[in-house]
Chain A
Amino acid sequence: MMQTLRYVVFRDLLLAMRRRADVATTLFFFVIVASLFPLGVGPDPKLLRVMAPGILWVGALLASMLSLGRLFAEDYADGSLEQLVLAPEPLTLVVIGKVVAHWLVSGLPLVLISPVIALQFDLPREAMVTLLLALLLGTPLLSLIGAIGAALTVGVRGGGVLISLLVLPLYVPVLIFGAGAVDASAMGMEAGGHLSILGALLLLGMVLAPWATAAALRISLE
């Protein structure tokens, strides 16, 4: 079982390594979106400090969503997704592997670069640590929820725009608690409550989302 998981993760990581530009695109999208906000609302540091948690989180949400198209679409196009569904290994396991790979490729780089962007917005140091922790808990959840949307729109025309309509409303709780945690610690309050809820949501997502994704994949491929 672990072997299947490892195989799927390695395979997707290898595919991502072969197309490094795709990974970089997601990352740069995140950086560019975050840099657009000061240009739009003005360079006032006080204002930017207040808005930073929200901006960083919305940027992470959009970046994670944009990369969802790659999760199943290419495997569907070359037929390997069908083989994965037909394989005797449980489909939920394959889904978990693909989600883990998606997070490693599109979520983890965001987490690692976020302190640099937080510096641009002049976030205090404690808030930066919270931001890292919150993104670390929240971005896997984004990949898990997004996988459901990606599986539902496999092979659907206009899937790219449709997926945003399906997935973004479901991202709302992650945004609220993620940005809330950073907000709280930027104001010098305890962020533990927000982080605990993010963790609880992540656990819930880990249990339910792969299952729903597998069901959606089966429907999409019948």
Chain B
Amino acid sequence: MKLNWFKYAAPATFYPLAGKLIPWFALAAAGLTVAGLYLSFFVAPTDFQQGESYRIIFIHVPAAWMSMFIYIVMAGWAAAGLIFNTRLSSMMASALAPTGALFTFIALWTGALWGKPTWGAWWVWDARLTSELILLFLYMGFMALHAAIDDPRRADRASAVLALVGVVNVPIIYFSVKWWNTLHQGASVSMTMAPKMAATMLLGMLVMALACWMYSIAAALARVRCIILEREQQAEWIANLGEPA
């Protein structure tokens, strides 16, 4: 059997497919969130050092994972758009950016909420916090550049170059910030969690991470459908879609 890899590369065929997939991913996200919240609030034990406040890691850690992962996926789509000159890949990249920025923001915000009772400060110039903040700036730059260029195809390709430059830079930024932090050694707080994590804690975190993942896919697909409608409004197949029920 010969697979046609490019069948769904056309917005006209991808649009209905995305529409069919969204409810499934949204359902999975909702179910996993309920399960994850149950695990994290009722099953996972109270931490003997940090008390109840540690429970914010159940959203904090998955959000931080997603923020970095989505940037890489976004850059991957952007690169695919640049290499194969496919419109849909670039649309996926710009659909992922707001979700990635959202998770970066959540990671920073929940980190601040956790830091206040634990370290006594909303913000510490820790290596991870700082590089997460810079990641947020990179997302903002990507979206701002895309928004500033009127021609969508040119905007796609320019922001793709920026995303790729960012991907090369992210590890450099991470390690430089890390080194900067160890050199300055401000407040002597350690970000590392208690060495041994209870299995239920880990499970809760993993379930929440999966929930965030499913949510990201659903949100990105919904957004890419809007982008397709916006950009392809001249196309015949969109006229044939008819009025939404």
Chain A residues with a Cβ under 8 A of chain B = 148, 152-153, 156-159, 162, 165-166, 168-170, 172-173, 176-177, 180, 183-184, 197, 201, 208, 212, 215-216, 219-220, 222
Q: Judging by beta carbons under 8 Å apart, are A176 and B154 in contact? A: no
Contact assessment for A215 and B141 in the assembled complex, using a CB-CB cutoff below 8 Å? no
Q: Which of B138, B145, B179 contacts A162 (CB 8 A)?
A: B145
Q: A176–B177 contact, CB under 8 A?
A: yes
- Please tell me if the beta carbons of A219 and B137 are within 8 angstroms of each other in the complex: no
A156 interface neighbour in B140, B148, B172, B180, Cβ under 8 Å: B148
Known A165-B137, A180-B183, A212-B165; judge A157-B176 contact (CB<8 A). no
Q: B146 → chain A, closest Cβ, in Å?
A: 11
- Among B57-65, B67-75, B155-163, B212-220, the one that faces the other chain is B155-163
Instruction: Assess A162 versus B144: contact at CB under 8 Å? Given A152-B161, A170-B165, A219-B161.
Output: yes
Q: How far is the CA of A201 from the CA of B171 in the complex (A)?
A: 12
A183 (CB) vs chain B CBs: closest residue? B183
A-B CB contacts (within 8 Å), total count? 71
Out of A165, A183, A197, A219, name the residue touching B144 (CB < 8 Å): A165
- Are A169 and B161 touching (Cβ within 8 A)? no
> Contacts A166-B141, A208-B168, A219-B154 known; A157 to B134 CB distance under 8 Å?
no
| CB neighbors of A among B157-209 (8 A) | 157-158, 161-162, 164-166, 168-169, 172-173, 176-177, 179-180, 183
Q: Are A212 and B164 in contact (CB under 8 A)?
A: yes
Which 10 residue pairs are nearest across A and B when measured between Cβ atoms?
A: A173-B176, A169-B137, A176-B180, A219-B157, A166-B141, A176-B176, A165-B141, A156-B148, A216-B161, A169-B134
Interface of B toward A, CB cutoff 8 Å: 134, 137-138, 140-141, 144-145, 148-149, 154, 157-158, 161-162, 164-166, 168-169, 172-173, 176-177, 179-180, 183
* 19 A-B interface contacts by CB (under 8 A): A148-B161, A148-B162, A148-B165, A153-B145, A162-B148, A165-B137, A169-B134, A169-B141, A172-B134, A173-B169, A173-B172, A173-B173, A201-B172, A212-B164, A215-B161, A216-B158, A219-B154, A219-B161, A220-B154
